[in-house]
Structure formats: structure tokens, C-alpha cells
Amino acid sequence: MSPAGLILTPGAGASRDNHTLVAVERAVAPLPVLRLDFPYRLPGRRVPDPPPPPDETPASAPASPEEAGRRARLLIEAVPLSCHLWTRDLRNNECNAATLHLFGFDDRQEYLDRFFDLSPEFQADGSPSASRAREILTEVFADGRGRVFEWMHRRRDGAPLPVEVTLVPVRMGQEPVIAAFTRDLREHKRMMADKERHEELLRTVNEAAAILLLSGVEGFYPDLHYCMGMLARAVGCDRVSVWRNHQEGDELHYSQHFEWREGTPPPGTGAGETGPGGGAPRKRRKGAPRGGGVGVGPGGTFWG
């Protein structure tokens, strides 16, 4: 990973304008460089004088707006997360390269100008995105307390971008600003959705197993049909089939076949199955799966 910036300091007896430091800055351009002065080194001292008592400490001169902006840029570029700065008049006036990458922009100014377009009209709680964002920023400037919350953004291409936003009130020079750090939650959301699907499937399998274990002889086939429907809905299948195989010589046959489809009646009503004694054994079609069940969904086939 390339560095986000470089800080250069002079040796004893030198200043920030030392020709070596200037040459280094030119050599690494366009990498941002900050050259610093240490006043005690100008007379050639290697260490500073002991600090004066607190009541005699002179007030440091405020940094110029240009210097404050330069320092802020170096700091936020060094942050690996998406980071941007808000001014008191609610302008998004600075961001780092990680922000452009996260939102899919190449041009920094385009991102800053279009920030309020990079959210859906409404958030998940029904609040209007633009007005709610301004409301939160105003609250942070008013009470000086940070905020952490989830937010739905959109990338430049319109793709959903769920994020966690951390707002931190800071000062840049003499001006209060808000540093906003944005963490991408897309992978986290995908993992949680997969976990919930797996947990739901496990609950369904356990429930179906309990039903079939407690089922009596007369009610087994209706219960099987009901459980097949449960499994189909859990995995998003349109159709589930269960059959019983048996071997005759070198040929594989099935003599029982049950099928579930939405709206079909359960076994015993003359539709959807070949039960015991329901017909002569049939030769298994070539290439058919040798398992006990198959579910067919909109996106393809789920083998059971």
C-alpha cells in the first residue's frame, strides 16, 4: 500500500526550508508532503528547553486557513476508512480517496457536489434522507456530541450501499467541523442474510423431522406432503419430488413418487403421487438423480 502522505522535519540548525527537505518534496510529488519547523532546532539545539510554567506559556498563533486545510487533508488521506468533512453551513467540503472508491467516483468535486443525491429518497424508518441528514449534522454542531448510526446510501451507478456512519465533532484551526467516517456494510449484510437463511432452513428441517417422526401410518403421506411444502418454501423451490428406489438386476427402478407443488392436493386424493400399489414399478430415466428428492426453483434446480 502506498503512503498517503509524508511529514519532513529538519535537523538541528536547519529550518523547514532546508534544501534537502525541499528536494525530497519535489522528488515524491504528487504525494502530499508537510515540512515542519521546530523552533528550538533553529539555533542548533537538539532538544527543546524545559516548558515554562502553565501561567507563563505563550499562546500559540492560530494556523492560517491554508495551513489548517493542508494539515486536515494530510490527516484524512491517511485514514483507511471513507472520511469527509462538514462545515457549519452544512457543506461537504473535503473527502479522501477511500470515499471516492467507496462511492464509485473519479472526480472529487463531483462527489462533493452530488452528496445529497447519493441516498434514496427515504431511509428505512421512512424519514426523508436529505432533511434527516441535515437534521443530524445540525444536532451534532449544536450539542458537540458524536453520533453512530446506519444509513442507506447509493453508489454513483445507483447500486444500494448500506453503511455505518460515525460523526465526530473536531476543530480545524478556529472553525468547528464534523469528521464523518463511513464503513461499508455490504459484506456484513450479505453474511447476516445468509446466516438467517441457514437458520431458517435448519428450523424448517427440524420441524419437518419432528412431524414425520410423530406421524402415524394413516397420516404419513399427508404429513410428508405438508413437510415437502415447508422445505420448498424454505429454499425457494417451485416443486419438490420424493421417490423410493429399488434395484432389479442392473436396473434402478422407482415404485413410489410424491410431488409437491403449490396448490396440489396431498397424497391419497389421486393426484401428485404414485403410492404403494399405485402402479407397476417404473424404470428410472437416464441421468435422473439417485437421491431421495429434488426441488426445482426459479433460479435452477436444488437437489435433495
Which three-class secondary structure state does DSSP give residue 28?
A: helix
Give yes or no for a contact between 170 and 192, defined as CB atoms under 8 angstroms apart.
Answer: no
- Cell 538541528: give the residue: 12
The sign of the CA dihedral 227, 229, 233, 238 is: positive
> Residue 272: what pLDDT?
41
Q: Which residues in the chain land under pLDDT 50? A: 57, 270-304
Domains of the chain: 1-45 (no CATH), 65-184 (3.30.450.20), 217-303 (no CATH)
Strand partners, 254: 245, 282
Rounded to 5 degrees, φ, ψ at 288 are: -70, 150
Question: H/E/C letters for each residue in 155-213?
Answer: CCCCCEEEEEEEEEEEEECCEEEEEEEEEECHHHHHHHHHHHHHHHHHHHHHHHHHHHH
pLDDT at residue number 275: 37
As given in the structure block, the three cell numbers for residue 32 are 502530499
Could you say which DSSP state residue 218 is in? T
* Side-chain-facing half-sphere of 137: CA atoms under 13 Å: 21
Pairing outcome for strands 6-8 and 33-35: parallel
How far is 221 from 266, CA to CA, in rounded Å?
Answer: 7
Q: How far apart are CA 22 and CA 26, in angstroms?
A: 6
Please state at what angle helix 220-235 crosses helix 186-214, rounded to 10 degrees. 180
Q: Which residues, 6+ apart, have CB-to-CB distance to 62 below 8 Å?
A: 173, 174
Q: What is the pTM of this model?
A: 0.55
